[in-house]
Amino acid sequence: MKVFVSVDMEGVSGLTDPEEMRAGGRGYERGCELMTGDANAAIRAAFDAGAERVVVTDSHGTGKNLRADLIDERCTLVRGPFKPMRMGEGLDASFDVALYVGYHARAGVERGVLNHTWMGREIQNLYLNGEVAGEIRLMAGYAGSLGVPVGFLAGDRAACEEARDLLGAVETVAVKDGHDRYAAEVIPPVRAQELIYEGVARALNAPDGWKRLALDAPYTMAVEWNSTAIAQSCSLIPGVKPSGPRTTEFTTDDYAEIVGLLGVFATIAGEIGCAGRQYG
């Protein structure tokens, strides 16, 4: 069995503060250790369930958050910024199943801890073939386009509910319950990581519960930005069309182009947002 593990940070056990997500922020180094601990719980369960290979990708920000010196030595780790497929980098059709750890709810979801879609503030809403989409739908869709099902997701309760709404009775573990975007009732990380281990073990021993998200081509991604400047700049990319003062659309038959374009969008939007400061 070949297992892919995508690890984000906002849904990691114990974390609720944006400072803990940002290099140089108060609590960030400890946040990286907790992120690695959650990842290791999933990796250990995968190998105990019979996995022959586990590939882990660091899916948060610059992709330099998982501690390479603390990660389970049996896996391989994909890390670093500007990976072409970002949160899905390293995944291909040879994998049996994808696991998502540390994931969060999409932008605007009530009680979603650190909720957002792809970027912290620049994207108001994102739509995939007319359906509102967060990172869970986007990454499950990418895996599905390769024929790979999703077997497990860990994150805050809102993320778990989003995953089940999308995929049905897929195995999930909620490590915290949001009170607001920046506040939550958290399960202490030691116990949360035990729950992740147990959840992954259950999932990998019951492949009938794995869910493949099969979306029909062509794929149309519409993005509602928080800034006319971002929309205008992104609409200069060949194939991207403006569909309103703050919205852009892109259609393709290749799902990988959706994921790759989001990476380009993030680079452009991040630069404009930082330059614009309070107007970004």
- pTM value is 0.96
Q: Got the DSSP string for 100-167?
A: EEEE-PPTT-TT-TT--BSBSSSEEEEEETTEE--HHHHHHHHHHHTT--EEEEEEEHHHHHHHHHHH
Residue 105 makes CB contacts below 8 A (sequence gap 6+) with 112, 113, 115, 134, 136, 155, 156, 158, 159, 161, 162
Q: How confident is the model at residue 274 (pLDDT cuts 50, 70, 90)?
A: low
Q: How many CA atoms lie within 13 A of 195 on its CB side?
A: 20
Which pLDDT value is given to residue 186? Answer: 98
Catalytic-labelled residue, pool 60, 104, 116, 179: 116
Q: How confident is the model at residue 273 (pLDDT cuts 50, 70, 90)?
A: confident
Residue 116 a catalytic site member: yes
- Residue appearing with tokens 């519960």: 209
Where residue 200 falls (left for φ over 0; alpha for ψ -120 to 50; beta otherwise) is: alpha
The fold for domain 219-279 equals Gyrase A; domain 2 (3.30.1360)
Question: Alpha-carbon distance 160 to 170, whole Å?
Answer: 9
Which pLDDT value is given to residue 261? Answer: 98
Q: What is the pLDDT of residues 176-196, one digit of tens each?
A: 999 999 999 999 999 999 999
Number of H helices and E strands in the chain, helices first, is: 6, 12
Q: What is the pLDDT of residues 79-135, one digit of tens each?
A: 999 899 999 999 999 999 999 999 999 999 999 999 999 998 999 999 999 999 999
Show me where the domains of the chain are located: 2-116+134-209, 219-279
Q: What is the CATH number of domain 2-116+134-209?
A: 3.40.50.10780
**Shared fold status for 2-116+134-209 and 219-279:** no
